[in-house]
Structure 1
């Protein structure tokens, strides 16, 4: 399999999609996402650019943290985790709150404007409490919301056995602890395809959304400190860390 490297330049292309609704088909079920085109336009445009060039197809869910988030958009898997080609980082748009059922962009700790391809689903309300994702690192940009029916797919992924932070199938918790167990792509949650379902940018108008009222929008470009306490290291590792799994031979 061809290997991709982080930090590649944006290909010269124009992206025609202005979709509000996309369907993410995973090996554990379907997730339908309503995108907030009007309020987070740069983030949605960025996400759709990866959808348009099929970069998310055959990627894996590489991280799932109990009562926190489920993360993907960064890696394919052959005999190891291979980072996908990424595009230039985008500006932060912390308009909406990181409540349960939303999708937001992952980024590098200490750099609010560092999001590229990786995203995460909030599986609980992470706006305040110990996570404080609405204010940490300039606030994490929520750019979409899943449908109610899609929650069961996230619940199914969260309930899987985890090898470290990576959800797996066909492997027991005891096998995860063994150095003799190898991981193949069949053991990982795969995002088989992400496609546009509705290209009407106004189709999210009737959604009930939660505004991020905790952060001053003028501070979104700050590169200063976070109030995230013990989670600063965790969120800072979102973009860069690779799951610790034994390589398949």
Structure 2
């Protein structure tokens, strides 16, 4: 069944009212993702990535992520959301974005972390889209495009739900949406022209604050991004006027370029 627009906006209005009643949560450290595949919590690094967390929490406070969808999946790499809502016209509708936030590449892109997507070639271009790292992506993402800002970590066994997102089948919905994970939708459905409905998407029903303590890390020991401050090793001279060979690490980063861009 398609999601009724009025129902969606009523749900968003109720969510905003509830968050306002909860008061100011500028120092919030834990949020709960309520999804169609289950709920899980994420601990935010608000003391070490303050601008990014403030930006994320503003979207949360506004209810911008209510009924948003996971619109991108790269198996063994990332699942990405925060940018779109599926509307009754069978289209992915963009969530209105706020001004971009400054890059804060303090932590490493390891499995279980959440980080901000951004535009290629612009380190300070993150707005509303985020992604979960499905594996150790530090070699690609800690240095590429100024480093991708990790601003939180999935708590306890929450990655079981994120992994369930990553287990869904990918479909090409046209345009920029070539790797959309869908639930209970098959290749046969696609071949027969069966319409994709709201229930086929992995939906983020809401993101809510569950802990407003000021100690952001607690018992966590997130890995620091050491690549962002490392100086590149000069390539050996070829003896002529040109440069040397490109290091393998740089080739790996270029191979992943373009994947974590805002759409």
Answer whether contact 2:46 2:216 (CA < 8 A) is retained. Answer: no
Q: Is 2:98 the counterpart of 1:87?
A: yes
Partner of 1:145: 153
Partner of 2:42: 33
Cα distance per residue 1:96-120 (max 9 Å; x no partner): 0000000000000000000000000
Matching of residues 177-192 of structure 1 within 5 Å: 178=191, 180-192=193-205
Deviation of 1:179 (Å): 6.4
**Aligned pair count?**
216
1:114 and 1:144 map into 2 onto residues whose CA distance is 18
Deviation of 1:217 (Å): 9.1
TM-score (norm. length: structure 1)? 0.82
Cα distance per residue 1:29-69 (max 9 Å; x no partner): 11210000110000000000001111111000011110000
Partner of 1:244: none
Task: Identify unmatched segments of 5+ residues in structure 2.
Answer: 7-19, 173-178, 232-248
In the TM superposition, structure 1's runs of 4+ consecutive aligned residues that sit over 6 Å from their partners are none
TM-score (norm. length: structure 2)? 0.78
Q: Is 2:192 the counterpart of 1:167?
A: no
Q: CA RMSD in A?
A: 2.1
Q: Is 2:212 the counterpart of 1:212?
A: no
Question: Which residue of 69, 74, 95 corresponds with 1:60?
Answer: 69
Change (3 A) 1:89 1:184: same
Partner of 1:7: none
Matching of residues 74-153 of structure 1 within 5 Å: 74-78=83-87, 79-128=90-139, 132-153=140-161
Answer whether contact 1:35 1:143 (CA < 8 A) is retained. Answer: yes
Deviation of 1:181 (Å): 2.5
Cα distance per residue 1:118-176 (max 9 Å; x no partner): 00000100001xxx100000000000000131011011111112213111112113333
Higher helix share: 2
1:168 and 1:109 map into 2 onto residues whose CA distance is 26
Q: Is 2:51 the counterpart of 1:42?
A: yes
1:73 and 1:169 map into 2 onto residues whose CA distance is 18
2:258 and 2:129 map into 1 onto residues whose CA distance is 17
Task: Identify unmatched segments of 5+ residues in structure 1.
Answer: 3-13, 219-225, 241-249
Answer whether contact 1:95 1:142 (CA < 8 A) is retained. Answer: yes
